[in-house]
Structure 1
Amino acid sequence: MSGWTSFTRDLLEQMPLILAGLLKTVQLAGLISISGLLLGIVVFYLTLSKSHIVRNTTNAYISFFIGMPLIVLLFLMYYGLPSWGVRLSPFTVAFIGFTFNVAAYNAAYLKTAFNGLDKSQLEAARAQGFNPLQIFRYITLPQVMRLSIPALTNQVIANLKDSSIAFLIQYTEFFARVQELAATNFQFFKAYLLAALIYLALVSAIVLFARAIERRYFIPV
């Protein structure tokens, strides 16, 4: 019991830092989920371009960022760019790196949903005089967004979990604070168990919220 007593004492002492780190984790995950979705919509739109150059460039972007390990991208930006005279804060690196990565995945989800649409409705819209942007805004995007709800919400969950690697570029989020707690008393199992339970609670909250959205907006296929 003495081990748990000392761990609890250290936990309470560092609780303000841990809660601040948890807030930074939630903020980062929320921001990259929003920015990654918005950029993903733009990237998806570009994949529908009539220009072969635009389509090929966009598909190359998707393939590159899906194929590039996220940690490698973050290290390139945080530890590599300074050699070129470019120094970015840990948050800036995390936000930009995650956004590019998440956008590629979201664009791929939307493209997959688009491939399952009935194209006759798009042809009917063109026949009625809708321009490509109007077709995308009023017909294509609403449907692919609804069809992609399960994949997009799973991506939000992945964003929360993946945010834990940001501590490797000196971003003091929740997991970084847990690392500090573990280093204080060397009770690594207890510290990491606490982190696992908190991540599980956050993921469970996202899953419950996502299921409610799916029941309301999901289109059966």
Structure 2
Amino acid sequence: MASNLLSFYHDFLDQWPLIIRGIGATIGLTVAMSLTGFLLGIVVFYFSLSRRPKVARFVERYKSFFIGTPLICIIYILYYGLPQLAIRLTPFEVTLLGFTLNIAAYNAAYLLTAYNGMDKTQIEAAAAQGFSPAQIYLWIILPQVLRSSIPALTNQVIYNLKDSSLAFLVQYPELFARMQELAAGNFEFFKTYSLTALFYVVMATVIYMLSKRVEKRLQTA
């Protein structure tokens, strides 16, 4: 037992530089896709408020498709399907694009839920004073729905972190891919994947604590 643990420890130290790179790749991918998914989600949410029936229907179909489709299916369509159309993307680009489209749909849904709970008298008053729809959205609607949606948006970032492990399926060298290499080398699957889970729990906890600080600052602002 002790010799197995010592052997695993040595294997882990040998792989540590690659694991560190994998952690960095996971954090970088999570930050990138959370940011792009957040920005696109704001755009999708804006069009979901459109009074044009065709635009509103298109947005609803967009959200329904990406919320209802497994992420792995979206990533495989981009990774294996696009080359058949002479479009070739790197593993990072495939993962970022697939996740962004998916995350935006969820974020738009969170924002719409917060909007439905808003007091609409402010919007009516702003419209009566001559504010344009874009001004009402940017200055009145968006700040309030973002404040109300912080818990949901934070949970989405944590989901993004966990789901980023799917990137190893398209050869992106993030944390899970590096730990997979460690497991394949020593066959210590229980120890390796338990340690992998611990890495993700630590990163998710950091995200949660940061979000709580932001939420507290906004409440006192």
Q: Same fold, TM exceeding 0.5? A: yes
**2:98 maps to amino acid:** G
Name the counterpart of 2:31.
30
Name the counterpart of 1:134.
135
Name the counterpart of 2:176.
175
- Which residues of 2 match residues 96-107 of structure 1 at below 5 A? 96-107=97-108
- Which residues of 2 match residues 171-210 of structure 1 at below 5 A? 171-210=172-211
Give me the whole-angstrom Cα distance separating, in 1, the residues matched to 2:11 and 2:84.
Answer: 39
Offset, 1:157: 0.5
**Is the 1:149–1:218 Cα contact (8 Å) retained in structure 2?**
no
Name the counterpart of 1:81.
82
Name the counterpart of 1:4.
5
- Of all paired residues, the percent bearing the same amino acid is 56
Question: Is there any run of 5+ residues in structure 1 with no aligned partner, and where?
Answer: none
- Which residues of 2 match residues 17-96 of structure 1 at below 5 A? 17-96=18-97
Offset, 1:218: 5.1
Alignment CA distance shift 1:117-1:203 (3 Å) = same
Give me the whole-angstrom Cα distance separating, in 1, the residues matched to 2:85 and 2:37.
Answer: 26
Alignment CA distance shift 1:218-1:54 (3 Å) = farther
Deviations 1:183-214 (A, max 9, x none): 11100111101101111111111111111222
Give me the whole-angstrom Cα distance separating, in 1, the residues matched to 2:69 and 2:133.
Answer: 32
SS of the residue corresponding to residue 118 of structure 1 reads: coil
SS of the residue corresponding to residue 49 of structure 1 reads: coil
Offset, 1:217: 2.2
Name the counterpart of 2:112.
111
Name the counterpart of 1:16.
17
**2:139 maps to amino acid:** Y
TM-score (norm 1): 0.97
TM-score (norm 2): 0.97
Name the counterpart of 1:157.
158
RMSD over equivalenced CA pairs, Å: 1.1
Offset, 1:215: 2.2
**2:159 maps to amino acid:** A
**1:179 maps to amino acid:** Q
Give me the whole-angstrom Cα distance separating, in 1, the residues matched to 2:176 and 2:162.
Answer: 10
Give me the whole-angstrom Cα distance separating, in 1, the residues matched to 2:166 and 2:42.
Answer: 25
Aligned residues: 219
Offset, 1:76: 0.8
**Is the 1:22–1:174 Cα contact (8 Å) retained in structure 2?**
yes
Question: Is there any run of 5+ residues in structure 2 with no aligned partner, and where?
Answer: none
Give me the whole-angstrom Cα distance separating, in 1, the residues matched to 2:113 and 2:62.
Answer: 16
**1:74 maps to amino acid:** I
Offset, 1:103: 0.3
